Structure 1
Amino acid sequence: MIGPNFLGIGAQKSGTTWIYENLSCHPHVRFPGGKEIHFWNARRDLGVTWWLDQFGPRQPGLRSGEITPAYATVDTDTIHAIHELCPDLRLFYVLRNPIDRAWSAARMAVLRAEMTLDEASEHWFLDHFRSAGSRRRGAYGEAIQRWRSVFPAEQLMVALFDDLQAQPRAFLSRLCGHIGIEAGFYEAVPEEALRRAVFTGPSAPLPPPLRRALIDQYGEAVETLGHLLRIDLSHWLAEP
């Protein structure tokens, strides 16, 4: 069979580069097309054969894939197309507090706009938070429901960025089990190496007025997501 064994579908600013760097070190994992191929969200004009050829034939004992956070936002028809090609794909989706995710993404957008954080006004940040792109990236519950409507729930591992930060070794162990590789490789990796941040943007505290705006924006969605996953996510909405 030709094609990937796994796909990481997001979320943006939720540790996907850290996952890529650590999985890339595993002797039984391959990313032949690099971390993000962006075929399903931006390059479909190249044809599905092109995408499948990025991975080539599957090899016993090896797992190949990509991690493109934008895939969390694709529509149901696209997910059906992916399932038709690779119905046994193992999928994973890492969720970060949408307030922190939105603030992190906005800070990165400031740099791309060739501004400093001081030059970006409160209004500029509010516009970014409310943009269709930012809201779509933070619509975790909707994304989970779309992917679960096509793929069996057991093929989609949903994890929290909080757990990645708190227990990186345990997080990798769970991920390895999900995609079908041995986690023992990471037992020899020093704890400080596992906790090393990868691809961090400029740090800055979230101003209280902007935090309140994001709490208002995401409060209902966080509550709904908690019910969907059957976990308490109220700490995401707490004031620091």
Structure 2
Amino acid sequence: IRGHWPPGPGKPPRVPAGWVVAPPDFVGIGAQKAGTSWWSALIHAHPDVHRAGDQPKELHFFDGYWEQAFTDADKELYARYFPRPPGGSAGEWTPSYMIDFWTPELLRRAAPQARILVLLRDPLERYRSGMAHTDDMDRRSLGRQDAMGAFGRGLYAQQLRRVLAEFPREQVLILQYERCRADPQGELARTFDFLGLRDVRVDPARFDRPVNPTTARKVELGDELRAALTSAYAPDLAQLATLVPELDLDLWPSTQATSR
């Protein structure tokens, strides 16, 4: 697919005998550095969730469509990445889908019945981890563009409005990383229920197993930068509290001042 960065998903996987192909049952769309690799691995630990071959967690299928038409053939191609046995479930989680403004509409066209998963994290902590991730990936000095990109990924309300313009609210599950860390078994049971999966208990040893950790040291925020970020995030957080009232902003201590 022309224009992909990171590279697109490559060829669709081979379909095992007796398996079926259809659009994904679920798609995780964000947020980057909010624990999505960890949560996706836990979902795929469910015996009824399937992934063919060595298919990655992140397909980045829609990345190149900012500059090219999305056709019926593309819809059919996307479905081919999700073979599963009859009655099984399949999906993916690409955190950039929520930030890329063109993707929610294309995702709705490609998988209108998919259950949408969003995992959010304290935006200042996500900013620190996101900057470290960029440093880890690029091995270069971080600059203004990196800071603006990391900041933009934490504007959750802005991104979610685009998503909710395409998918009904009852089709979107919005989780908090901090709640998942505090009660992984309970939040995972809630996730399984949302996905229409039978209730199973995942081995608790998996909850503390790191998945795709950032190796670079997190960016330290000085007092002035922390205050500037807190102020800059305040309007979006106020909108987020209205948009998703079940979120507990007290779990985000670095931004508590914005929720008062």
Shorter chain as denominator, the TM-score bin is: 0.7 to 0.9
Structure 2 counterparts to residues 94-173 of structure 1, below 5 A: 94-115=119-140, 124=142, 128-129=146-147, 131=148, 133-173=149-189
Whole-angstrom CA distance in 2 between matches of 1:74 and 1:127: 16
The code of the aligned residue for 2:101 comes to D
1:69 alignment counterpart: 95
Cα offset for 1:232?
Answer: 4.6
Whole-angstrom CA distance in 2 between matches of 1:197 and 1:61: 30
1:48 alignment counterpart: 75
1:27 alignment counterpart: 47
More helix by share: 1
The partner residue of 2:37 within 17, 25, 36 is 17
Cα offset for 1:30?
Answer: 1.7
Whole-angstrom CA distance in 2 between matches of 1:60 and 1:179: 16
Whole-angstrom CA distance in 2 between matches of 1:125 and 1:84: 36
| Unaligned ranges ≥5, structure 2 | 1-20
1:219 alignment counterpart: 234
Cα offset for 1:174?
Answer: 0.8
Whole-angstrom CA distance in 1 between matches of 2:248 and 2:46: 33
The code of the aligned residue for 2:60 comes to H
Cα offset for 1:128?
Answer: 2.8
The partner residue of 2:222 within 189, 198, 207 is 207
- Matched residue SS, 2:38: helix
1:194 alignment counterpart: 207
Whole-angstrom CA distance in 2 between matches of 1:153 and 1:173: 19
Whole-angstrom CA distance in 1 between matches of 2:152 and 2:161: 14
Give CA-to-partner distance per residue, 1:56-114, whole Å, 9 cap, x none: 4x6443110000000102336x4333223322110110111111111101112223342
CA contact (8 A) 1:37 1:66 kept: yes
Whole-angstrom CA distance in 2 between matches of 1:183 and 1:216: 42
Give CA-to-partner distance per residue, 1:9-63, whole Å, 9 cap, x none: 010001111012212222111233320100112368693332211114x644311
Q: What percent identity do the matched residue pairs reach? A: 28
The RMSD of aligned alpha carbons is 2.5
Cα offset for 1:127?
Answer: 5.3
Whole-angstrom CA distance in 2 between matches of 1:168 and 1:148: 26
- Matched residue SS, 1:39: coil
1:39 aligns with 2:55: no
Whole-angstrom CA distance in 1 between matches of 2:217 and 2:198: 35
In the superposition, relative to structure 1, how do residues 236 and 156 fare at CA in structure 2: closer, same or farther (>3 Å)?
A: farther
Cα offset for 1:217?
Answer: 2.1
CA contact (8 A) 2:158 2:236 kept: no
The code of the aligned residue for 1:160 comes to Q
Moved over 4 A (4+): 43-46, 124-127
153-162 or 41-50, which deviates more: 41-50
CA contact (8 A) 2:78 2:110 kept: no
The code of the aligned residue for 2:255 comes to L
CA contact (8 A) 1:95 1:158 kept: yes
